[in-house]
Amino acid sequence: MKKKHLFYLITLASILLFATLQLLDNPMIQEKVEGRTFDLRLNLRDLVNPQPSPKDIIIVSIDEKSIKEIGRWPWRRDVMAILVHKISEDRPKVIGIDIIFSERESRETDAELEKAIKEAGNVVLATAFIVPKGKNVVIPGEVPNFFWDSAMNVKSVEGIKWKKWALKPESAIPPLEEFSRVASLGHVYTQPDLDGTLRREVMYLNYGIDCYPSFALQIARIACGLRMEDMVLFGGSQIMLGNRYIPIDLSGRVLINYVGKEHSFPYKSASDVINGKTATGLFRDKIVLIGTSALATYDQKITPLSANMPGVEKNANVVENIILNNFLIRSPGILELMVIVMTGVLLGVLIPRLKAIPGVAISIGSIVFYILLSFYLLTYKHIWINLIYPVSNMFVIFIALTVAKYFFEEKKAKEIRSMFSSYVSPKIVEVLINNPEKAKLGGVRKDVSVLFADIIGFTTLSERKPPEEVIDLLNEYFKEMTDIIFKWDGTLDKFVGDEIMAFWGAPVDQPNHAELAVRCALNMTDRLSELQKKWTKEGKEVLDCGIGINTGEVIIGNIGAIGKKMDYTVMGDHVNLAARVEKLTREYNAKIIVTEFTIGHLDALIKEGLIGHCQLEERDNVRVKGKEKEVKIFELKGLKHGEI
């Protein structure tokens, strides 16, 4: 499989995977994983942009102080009657009692509480419902007629089968009938997410043939001065409360926009109210919720912002959300799908084409941008967009493509190292590995400088000396000459018997290839002079060579039998000219001969005196085989030994 096809396949697979997960929206991932990121964003919002503290909602709390002063919980009904009476004297908009009075206490105390509730005239009582787990729906028996006054006006919405998704209790635990007839009722059923965190409020329950509002919804209705007729449920769509429209999901839930951690609302101790220690008029035109906060009363909830929020404050948050109509809204998923596709395509196209640092920068930048966008939308627009799937898609594509790219580049590096390590210096190999696009193994045309170095009189030598001695001498000579070629960043093309062929200008671009070839030739003759002295002292045969250099356009590429034997080499007329010029070194008794084409590349350096320690002499105009025009040749001599 081609590299780009694998990259496209990885990208497509990741996009399809996370787009499918986004569409399926599995509750396990949504509530246990995505929910945690939602909580984190809410906590950050609480630090960056804290919500204003509500002023019109007051919580009267049965706290530790109240239990210590009044007595153990639950209190007698006549004590609760005093509490309701004290609050109602200030004429609050509504009193919500988040306590279930489902069992009879005594005729006298029950009557006192009934009287207090009736005189207040604006009390909402909590009602418990039992919703079965699983999909088995139990049709309740006869619904008590005192429930009817709290039933919602329901209108179906075309195309929405809301009753299929509505939560259906199997039984109810209402307040005593005498309490229920003088108050409004609201359910206090809660449905935490799978991780135990309470993020949503169930706004109604479908009990029997009717639907009943939540405790908080009833409180908000009365606080707004609305009748039950003014509250309409559009099943599975929204709830109309006067001129407010509250969006709900198919199960009738909303996403609570918590004001903050526990005690974000004004609290007053119930014992202070009973004992007259609160200022007169404190509750006037306020929404008052009565509930428990003492730990021993076991009404604490886990919320995104708190692990110990009293249930009554949870209800206060919902009431505040209804009054301000500022519930959080969960994205339907269109934005997330667009992000998954767009960022997936973007990264899938760019990462294979970019180097490591730009690729990392774009990937991390995309992830960070989306995270910041999700935080901005939640903080300032009250919109919760899914973080897990789009970010996971970007991360998976980035990691998978980076790893795949690494293996391909590692394989390419091995191929380049294998291909060129015997041709060029380690420095050039590293350049090719870091810039593989420069290792164009296909045929290309380029201007290069070609050098041929041939041993003079090798045939006679090989006939006179034992093969072992000849090979040792050749190996020493080749090693020294090859080291010098690599030193000057040349490409060693091949050994042809006793001849060395090298070139400059490929596989990496070398604008000064003619200069490098000439300097290498001078260095080779200097080193050969040193070797000749050494061989003379050792009593060995002395080798000599002629060097020819030419510059021009050639064809470069891998030549050979694919899968058998391949050589990276140069071909063309200018290569042949370099080989023939080398043969002229015998005729003109010269060590190095270069053509006018090479000299043409060196004119500026020669005029500026940048090639020193050498002498250049024009020797002749010669007609070489395969050339119609004569070519000027020059003899190049070094003036002293040593590095040029």
3-state SS string over 65-76?
HHHHHHCCCCCC
pLDDT at 405: 78
**Integer angstrom CA distances of residue 58 from 50, 187, 288, 420:** 19, 20, 5, 81
Q: What is the pLDDT of residues 67-96, one digit of tens each?
A: 999 999 999 999 999 999 999 999 999 999
Per-residue DSSP letter, 40: H
> Three-state SS across 492-530?
EEEEECCEEEEEECCCCCCCCHHHHHHHHHHHHHHHHHH
Mean pLDDT along residues 519-530: 92
**Does the pLDDT value for residue 415 go beyond 70?**
no
Instruction: List pLDDT tens digits, range 319-343.
Output: 999 999 999 999 999 999 999 999 9
How far apart are alpha carbons 481 and 462 in whole angstroms?
Answer: 20
Q: Which of 355, 570, 331 is nearest to 445 (CA)?
A: 570
The pLDDT of residue 147 is 76
Query: Comparing 97-111, 218-232, 567-581, which segment has the lowest mean pLDDT?
Result: 567-581
pLDDT category of residue 432 using cuts at 50, 70 and 90: low
pLDDT at 86: 96
Name the pLDDT band for 413 (thresholds 50, 70, 90).
low
At how many degrees (to 10) do helices 334-350 and 388-420 cross? 10
> How far is Cα 227 from Cα 377, in angstroms, rounded to an integer?
35
pLDDT at position 95, please? 98
Q: Residues 28-59, buried b or exposed e (16+ Cβ, 10 A)?
A: ebbbebbbebbbebbeebbeeeebeebeebbb
Residues 6+ positions from 352 with CB-CB distance below 8 Å: 3, 4, 7, 401, 405
What is the band of 182 on the pLDDT scale with cuts at 50, 70, 90? Answer: very high
CB 413 within 8 A of CB 436: yes
Where do the domains of the chain lie, and which CATH numbers do they carry?
Answer: 3-23+332-396 (no CATH), 52-328 (no CATH), 436-638 (3.30.70.1230)
Strand 444-455 and strand 545-561: pairing?
Answer: antiparallel
Tell me: the pLDDT tens digits for 444-496? 788 999 999 998 887 777 777 888 888 888 899 999 999 999 899 888 888 88
Instruction: Compute the average pLDDT of residues 600-606.
Output: 81
Report the chain's mean pLDDT, rounded to a whole number: 88
Worst-scoring range by mean pLDDT, 180-194, 372-386, 499-513?
Answer: 499-513
Residue 548's DSSP bridge partners are: 452, 593
Percent of the chain with pLDDT over 90: 62
Torsion (CA) 159, 162, 165, 171 in degrees, nearest 10: -160
| Per-residue pLDDT tens digits for 243-274 | 999 999 999 999 999 999 999 999 999 999 99
If you average pLDDT over residues 33-58, what whole number do you get?
Answer: 94
Separation between Cα atoms, residue 554 and residue 568, nearest integer Å: 13
Is the pLDDT score of 27 beyond 60?
Answer: yes
Please give the pLDDT value at position 141.
59
Task: For residue 446, give the 3-state DSSP assignment.
Answer: strand
Residue 28 is which amino acid? M
* Cα→Cα distances 167→130, 236, 470, 623, 637, Å: 10, 11, 98, 102, 100
Average pLDDT on 109-129 reads 96
- Residue 606: its pLDDT value, please? 73
Residue (of 328, 331, 27) closest to 201 by Cα position: 328
CB 498 within 8 A of CB 454: yes
Averaged pLDDT, 595-611: 79
DSSP string, 170-190: SEEEPPPHHHHTTSEEEE---
Query: Stretch 537-565: mean pLDDT, rounded?
Result: 81
Q: How many CA atoms, within 13 angstroms, populate the side-chain half-sphere of residue 382?
A: 15
The answer to which of 104-108, 225-229, 616-620 has the lowest mean pLDDT is 616-620
> 241: part of which helix (H) or strand (E)?
strand 238-241
pLDDT at 139 over 70: no
pLDDT (average), residues 299-328: 96
Tell me the residue type at 380: Y
Mean pLDDT calculated for residue range 18-42: 94
CA 5 to chain CA mean position, Å:
22
Q: How many residues does the chain have?
A: 644
Taking 80 as the threshold, does the pLDDT of residue 100 lie above it?
Answer: yes
Structure tokens at 308: 């110990």
DSSP letter at 214?
B
* Residue 105 in this model has a pLDDT that exceeds 90: yes
d(CA 80, CA 226): 27
Estimate the crossing angle of helix 215-223 against helix 311-324, to 10 degrees. 50
